[in-house]
Amino acid sequence: MESLAINLDGSTLVAPKAGFVLMVRFKLQDRNEFDTIFCDYISISGRTLRLIGCRCKTFVVGGLPCDYALRVGSMEIGADHVMDVLQLATPPWYYRLEEDARMLMSADRLVLEVGMLDVFAQLTGSGS
């Protein structure tokens, strides 16, 4: 993880290196704790940062596995609320969305219904 300096006077676009995403930590006035959002890039206009292609990391939601992201879209935040802008290698869950997690869950149920040995035989071609 690498910290990026945001220059409000100069640059108008902050983009990560290829294979990386931006992680923005911010604190809103009505909250005591910090929030974190991941995005593809940041557009700067005056003292406002527009976060483009935002995603949030999920935690346990019902029975779904928590290794996926929720799409947030774009959001604007004042520069005075931003604590850190970091660049990090794209996590494996970043492009995995809720729809994908739901498909994985249904695939798990299918494996249980059909039976592990039948699935293994199908995958390896060693079936009868």
pLDDT at 102 exceeding the cut of 90? no
Cβ neighbours, 10 Å, residue 44: 18
pLDDT on residue 86: 93
Q: Are 87 and 4 in contact (CB under 8 A)?
A: yes
Q: Is the dihedral of CA 116, 117, 123, 128 positive or negative?
A: negative
Percent of the chain with pLDDT over 90: 27
Tens-place pLDDT, residues 46-101 = 889 999 999 888 765 555 556 677 788 899 999 889 999 999 999 887 877 666 66
pLDDT at 26 exceeding the cut of 80? yes
